Structure 1
Amino acid sequence: MSESKDQITVQATGIDHDTSTHSLAEDAQGAQTSQAEASEHPVQPADLVDQKKGSFGYFKTKEFYITVILGQILAIANTSTSTFTTLLGQEQWAIPAFQTFLNYVLLNIIFTPYTMYRYGFKGWLRLVYRDGWKYIILAFCDVEGNYFIVLAYQYTTMLSAQLINFWAIVVVVVLSFLFLGVRYHITQIAGILICIGGMGILIGSDHITGTNGGDISHGRQLKGDLFALLGATFYGLTNTGEEYFVSTRPVYEVLGQMSFFGMIINGAQAGIFDRTSFHNAHWDGKVGGYLTGYTLCLSLFYCLAPLLFRLSSAAFFNVSMLTMNFWGVIIGVKVFHYHIHWMYPIAFVLIIVGQLIYFLAQKLLSEARKPWLGTNQERGVVGLFTAKRKIVHTIPAAAGCHDQTAEHIPEHTPTANISSV
């Protein structure tokens, strides 16, 4: 009897030993599996930087305030160009293609020589040979967007043209979703819709006060609407393309190439369509001053827009432009003696609220982290306001990623990847 008890005890001890051994083996195997998974899916430097700190975490960053303020500066600059165009019209001066041509000339004078300095003349020629066709398409869309929008106002009402300009936002969102892999959060969609609602109030107040302008007495409104739709489509293509280019190339290269080819395309277009207007135009000191103001404001707009594309997106860029009407009235009160309708402040506040909602639930890098550049933005450029620059500066270990992938610029400019704008 005692022997059987001993056997049972021994067997029980053996079972406990086997169970504990098996448990230890499972723990060891689990630890190895966890280590293997950790090695297969390591924490990325970009994920360490791009953390979500509450729904309002992005509002606490300096990038948020720079983005919103920069968007409004661009809206004011664009409104200023419209003001100078109106002043030129009051002087009976209207040469739309030539008017924009001066902007491309100025940008080309600034950025093309600097690009040659950075890359060398042979490097610049290689750039033109290799990527020139891409910039020709970008410049063509930009030139035609400007041309058709200006042309549209000669045939349709301002109300119709402004409503159709919403199409640019749709084009940007669809193109970014389909071709750039951008996925929009529900708060971003809600913010865009609220901004559009605010713009609707602005347009409605213009309609009530009869300040929409335009001549539809000859039944040409449909023609003008089609021109506005075409111009908005070109703007959407340009904004999306420029956002892609400035995320992978230095700003000076993008602006230099776009202005170089834009100057050629716009110059040819002005020579074809504006010859008669040019010879019959009235020239004096006022016209020269207004042209200078228009060119400087538009050039400032072109210089700052790429920075907003890097900080945010082409979608937010177009949303920011919705406040142009409000700033236009503010300027018009002093220059053209406009009267502010009571709906204007409400509309402006609504658009700003929509922009704030747009950035709800955003992580710290927000839209600066472009999905087409890779997890750590390894295919991007280390430039001003880029997510890659912030990642590299925040986590020095991530600097290795930009050593392996440059900006896809000429090989003989090795320092451009670090210091390019």
Structure 2
Amino acid sequence: MSDKDPGDIIATDPREKDDRRSLIVRKIWNFNPKDIFTWELAKTVAMGQFLASLICGTAVTSQYLASDYHVDAPMLQSFMGYTLLCLTYTTALLFRTGDGNMFQILKRKWWKYLLLGLVDVEANYTVVKAYQYTTLTSIQMLDCFVIPVVMVLSWWFLKTCYRPIHYISVVICLLGVGAMVGADLLAGRDQGSTSDILLGDGLVLLSASLYAVSNVCQEYTVKHLSRVEFLGMVGLFGTLISGIQLGILEHTNVANIQWDWSIAMLFAAYGLCMYTLYSCMPIVVKKTSATAVNLSLLTADLLSLFCGLFLFQYKFSCLYMVSLVIILIGFIAFNAVATTPNPAEPLGQEEGVHGNSYDTITKQEVVVTVQGEEKEEQKAGEGPGLTWRERTQDEETPAGGRSTKM
């Protein structure tokens, strides 16, 4: 008797291999670009580039504040953005009723959102701090570390299923980033400090990891709970944490700012860009995924460069256009095939807010079982034809007619 499994024998059948080849050939022959390049994909690309343009806005305003006005107050800039989120979304939660009210959310999950706010604030702070120790090239290269971390966290916690095309797309996008960094080196844009490159690179990796945690938490919250809840809680705790950190670390820098209308306008522009970015990103994350959003944001540096060609007299290189095209190709390929949660491991929702998927499945199984027993009893002649629900209510109703069931 052969030790081979029958499935192995079938898998090695030459006829089956021929059928698979013919199936692949038919798929290639029947390929229709309209099935991939849909209106939904176009909207996804457009929304991703809109987010990248908002990041470009924060970069340009920060560059103006640093180079033209010598303002070094990154925490003040973040504090303004978080304050705007708090004034709008946290206030909206305050006037909600039921489980969506701010106090009910804080009662159940205050420590979770406290940690999330801390992660988000420090992710913004550490990447700005890294510019004091390492070069722009290192930051651009190491900042891409957020993508593999997001993919691992999404696979582990959100049960996201990635296909080979997704990994290929990520590699294509990273090649585009490599072309961008090469163009920077050829154009002499290797800016930044070199006082402690190892510390600076470590801060970039830390920032990328913190951003990944924040993005995955954002994806879970907006897909299973509420976009307003996420933004309201991040705005609340982000304002508190950044305000405390601002008072401790930057009170001297803020006191030394020579305020005029141009500085105030730049701070306002930065705050509005950050506020709009945080408000719109959950919409794109809910439509796609945290990984897709981070891939689309890879073009933010290129958009900042194109603005710098006119504003800061940067040198142009054709490699920048090549990099932009490569990144967009990778982003489109990534979004052409959906990433779906693993059906074998469903992700439950928060209990007490939207219900628990496991409990829902169990209740459905109980209902099916009870209905089956009712039919068997009626066929066997047991009982006067009352349903299970009617018999239960009759048993729980005392002589006075008032049900004891709560």
TM-superposed CA distance for 1:166, in Å, is 1.2
Out of 214, 226, 231, the position equivalent to 1:238 is 214
Task: Find the residue that maps to 1:215 and give its secondary structure.
Answer: coil
TM-score by length of 1: 0.72
Out of 259, 263, 272, the position equivalent to 1:283 is 259
Alignment of 1:319-398 (within 5 A): 319-360=295-336, 362=337, 366-367=338-339, 369-371=340-342, 379=349
Partner in structure 2 of residue 211 of structure 1:
189
Choose 62-71 or 316-325, whichever is displaced more: 62-71
Partner in structure 1 of residue 390 of structure 2:
none
Unaligned runs of 5+ in 2: 1-29, 351-359, 365-406
For the 8 Å contact 1:146–1:231, the answer to whether it is kept is yes
For the 8 Å contact 1:63–1:311, the answer to whether it is kept is no
Matched residues, number: 325
TM-superposed CA distance for 1:212, in Å, is 2.1
Out of 217, 222, 228, the position equivalent to 1:252 is 228
Q: Is residue 131 from structure 1 mapped to residue 109 from structure 2 by the alignment?
A: yes
Separation in structure 2 between the aligned mates of residue 175 and residue 56 of structure 1, nearest angstrom: 32
Distance 1:184 1:232, change over 3 A: same
Partner in structure 1 of residue 179 of structure 2:
201
Out of 125, 128, 144, the position equivalent to 1:147 is 125
Distance 1:115 1:57, change over 3 A: farther
> Identity across aligned pairs (percent)?
31
Partner in structure 1 of residue 197 of structure 2:
221
Letter paired with 1:125: F
Choose 116-125 or 258-267, whichever is displaced more: 116-125
TM-superposed CA distance for 1:200, in Å, is 0.5
Partner in structure 2 of residue 85 of structure 1:
62
Distance 1:275 1:250, change over 3 A: same
Distance 1:223 1:122, change over 3 A: closer
TM-score by length of 2: 0.75
Out of 60, 72, 76, the position equivalent to 2:49 is 72
Task: Find the residue that maps to 2:313 and give its secondary structure.
Answer: coil
TM-superposed CA distance for 1:182, in Å, is 1.2
Separation in structure 2 between the aligned mates of residue 87 and residue 138 of structure 1, nearest angstrom: 30
How far does the alpha carbon of each residue in 1:342-396 deviate from its partner, in whole angstroms, 9 at most, with x for none? 1111111111111122134x2xxx34x5458987x9849xxxxxxxxxxxxxxxx
Structure 1 outlier segments of 4+, above 6 Å: 372-375
Letter paired with 2:295: V
Separation in structure 1 between the aligned mates of residue 348 and residue 149 of structure 2, nearest angstrom: 27
Separation in structure 2 between the aligned mates of residue 122 and residue 309 of structure 1, nearest angstrom: 21
Separation in structure 1 between the aligned mates of residue 117 and residue 34 of structure 2, nearest angstrom: 38
For the 8 Å contact 1:187–1:359, the answer to whether it is kept is no
Task: Find the residue that maps to 1:156 and give its secondary structure.
Answer: coil
Letter paired with 1:251: R
For the 8 Å contact 2:219–2:290, the answer to whether it is kept is yes
Letter paired with 1:279: A
Task: Find the residue that maps to 1:359 and give its secondary structure.
Answer: helix
For the 8 Å contact 1:88–1:290, the answer to whether it is kept is yes
Distance 1:58 1:378, change over 3 A: farther
Letter paired with 1:140: L
Unaligned runs of 5+ in 1: 1-52, 381-399, 405-421
How far does the alpha carbon of each residue in 1:215-254 deviate from its partner, in whole angstroms, 9 at most, with x for none? 21x4x11111111111111111111111111111121111
Distance 1:378 1:114, change over 3 A: same
For the 8 Å contact 1:323–1:351, the answer to whether it is kept is yes
Separation in structure 1 between the aligned mates of residue 282 and residue 266 of structure 2, nearest angstrom: 25
Partner in structure 2 of residue 395 of structure 1:
none
For the 8 Å contact 2:170–2:295, the answer to whether it is kept is yes
TM-superposed CA distance for 1:124, in Å, is 2.1
Separation in structure 1 between the aligned mates of residue 100 and residue 287 of structure 2, nearest angstrom: 32
Partner in structure 1 of residue 75 of structure 2:
97
TM-superposed CA distance for 1:120, in Å, is 6.2
Out of 135, 139, 148, the position equivalent to 1:170 is 148
Letter paired with 2:143: N
Separation in structure 1 between the aligned mates of residue 31 and residue 259 of structure 2, nearest angstrom: 58
Partner in structure 1 of residue 282 of structure 2:
306
Task: Find the residue that maps to 2:161 and give its secondary structure.
Answer: coil
TM-superposed CA distance for 1:131, in Å, is 1.4
Separation in structure 1 between the aligned mates of residue 38 and residue 269 of structure 2, nearest angstrom: 34
TM-superposed CA distance for 1:126, in Å, is 1.4
Letter paired with 2:221: F
How far does the alpha carbon of each residue in 1:274-310 deviate from its partner, in whole angstroms, 9 at most, with x for none? 1111112221111100000001011111011101111
Separation in structure 2 between the aligned mates of residue 149 and residue 245 of structure 1, nearest angstrom: 24
For the 8 Å contact 1:58–1:64, the answer to whether it is kept is no
Partner in structure 1 of residue 4 of structure 2:
none
Q: Is residue 272 from structure 1 mapped to residue 248 from structure 2 by the alignment?
A: yes
For the 8 Å contact 1:188–1:358, the answer to whether it is kept is yes
Separation in structure 2 between the aligned mates of residue 54 and residue 117 of structure 1, nearest angstrom: 52
For the 8 Å contact 2:93–2:229, the answer to whether it is kept is yes
Separation in structure 1 between the aligned mates of residue 344 and residue 60 of structure 2, nearest angstrom: 39
TM-superposed CA distance for 1:164, in Å, is 1.0
Partner in structure 2 of residue 62 of structure 1:
39
Partner in structure 1 of residue 382 of structure 2:
none
TM-superposed CA distance for 1:123, in Å, is 3.3
For the 8 Å contact 1:101–1:263, the answer to whether it is kept is yes
